Structure 1
Amino acid sequence: MGIFGRIGDIIKANINDLLDKAEDPVKMIKQMVIDMQEAVTKATSGLAQAMAQEKKLQRDYEKFVAMSKEWENKAMAALQAGNEDLARKALAKKAEADQQANMYKQMYEQAAQTAATLKTQVEQLKAKLDEARMKESTLIARSQAAKAQKEIAKNIGTFDHSSISAKFSKFEEKILKEEAEAQAFTQLSEGTTSLDDEFKALEKNMAVDDELAKLKAKLGK
């Protein structure tokens, strides 16, 4: 099983574990994104190792290709100098270099193919992570809105509308009674004051009449 298969199993295991525990949806969504981010990190690390191996095999392949060419040149130089035995030895070294070059060529080509496949898979995984992050923001917002709506509905449901209406009616009746009593006391207070004023006015008129009588007596009338 490759690195991507193991990463997929880890993600599925974590998600299934969260679903089994029936945790808060927001926490579950955030954890899933975290798991995917960790998967991308591991996959990227695996891709980097594969690319490094590809480059190493490419350098080894090119080294033996260059070595083969070098021994070929030496063999030609030996022939030109008339030393066929030395030329044979150089060609034997060239054959060894060619064998190594062919081996590393196959390894390099396979590594290049593996790295290309891993690169595609990493890009797909990153795209899924980006999509998950966008969904995360949307789903979290929806979850928060649902919680707020639920809380409001719950608070509204705790009030008994008929009971509240009855209580307000009772309070209103009591206030109306207090207002009526206040008005009655005000009227009684105003009536008492008016009677007192009348007696005061009477006393004042009597005093004036007495003074008038005294003045008439003085004048002999």
Structure 2
Amino acid sequence: MSIFKRIADIIRAYINDLFDKAEDPEKMIKQMVIEMEEGVAKSTTALAKALASEKQLERKYKGLANKAQNWERKAMVALQSGNENLARQALMQKATLATQANEYQKMLKNASAATKSLRNQVDALKSKLKEARMKESTLLARNQMAKTQKKLAKQLGGFDMDNNFARFDKFEERILKAEAEAEAMVELADESGGLDDEFKALEQSSSINEDLAQLRAKMNMG
């Protein structure tokens, strides 16, 4: 029964220690499934041999029982013929064969019980293997996700979020300052242009006044 002890150890490791081992979980999972498949194959072979042995014991038992019955019929024929001595010898043969048949019957009973127990264990192993195969893809996917999350965590750990956002804030302040300076320059430029226009208008008005005075002077002279 060492094969079943081995499978039991694998199942315990599969359930309790899978992600606590130092080895790669993916390799462990795949290896466990492979070992369980090998265990099921070996136990199935052992069951087949046990069934074959049980059949042989059954055939042997039935053969001896039939022979014992044949000797009993011969004893009856001898008695009917009046040959009591021959009948006794036939019954002695029957008794010997019956004793052997009883021994094989006991062995057959024990073999049947052992085969039944072995079959139950094989069925349990097959059920566990089926469960393991169903869980294999899920566990592998979970392991890959864990690796991805771990890698992402390392990347984020190397990225100073606070420092980088502080640099963004400084850049934003500089841009806002530049925008304010540009707006101020535009406003000053607009204001300067307005004064120039007023002075030009004033100069133009003064020139017209002079021209007007000269024109009046000419008209008075005339």
**Is the TM value for this pair above 0.5?**
yes
Counterparts of 2:67 and 2:138 in 1: how far apart (Å)?
60
Give the match for residue 29 of structure 1: 29
Counterparts of 2:78 and 2:98 in 1: how far apart (Å)?
19
- Taking the TM superposition and a 5 Å limit, the aligned residue runs for 1:63-102 are 63-102=63-102
Query: TM-score, normalised to structure 2's length?
Result: 0.66
Q: Is the 8 A contact 2:7 2:36 kept in 1?
A: no
Give the match for residue 7 of structure 1: 6
Q: Which residue identity lines up with residue 117 of structure 1 in the other structure?
A: S
Give the match for residue 39 of structure 1: 39
CA RMSD of aligned residues (A): 3.1
- Taking the TM superposition and a 5 Å limit, the aligned residue runs for 1:144-183 are 144-161=144-161, 162-163=163-164, 166=167, 169=171
Q: Is the 8 A contact 1:72 1:91 kept in 2?
A: yes
Give the match for residue 191 of structure 1: none
Aligned residues: 173
Counterparts of 1:20 and 1:148 in 2: how far apart (Å)?
19
Counterparts of 2:53 and 2:37 in 1: how far apart (Å)?
24
Give the match for residue 137 of structure 2: 137
Residue 154 of structure 1 deviates from its aligned partner by 2.6
In structure 1, stretches of 5+ residues that fail to align are 177-221
In structure 2, stretches of 5+ residues that fail to align are 179-222
Query: TM-score, normalised to structure 1's length?
Result: 0.66
Q: Is the 8 A contact 1:3 1:43 kept in 2?
A: no
Give the match for residue 201 of structure 1: none
Counterparts of 1:9 and 1:134 in 2: how far apart (Å)?
18
Residue 163 of structure 1 deviates from its aligned partner by 4.8
Deviations 1:145-197 (A, max 9, x none): 11122223333433344358749959x98xx9xxxxxxxxxxxxxxxxxxxxx
Moved over 4 A (4+): 12-21, 163-170
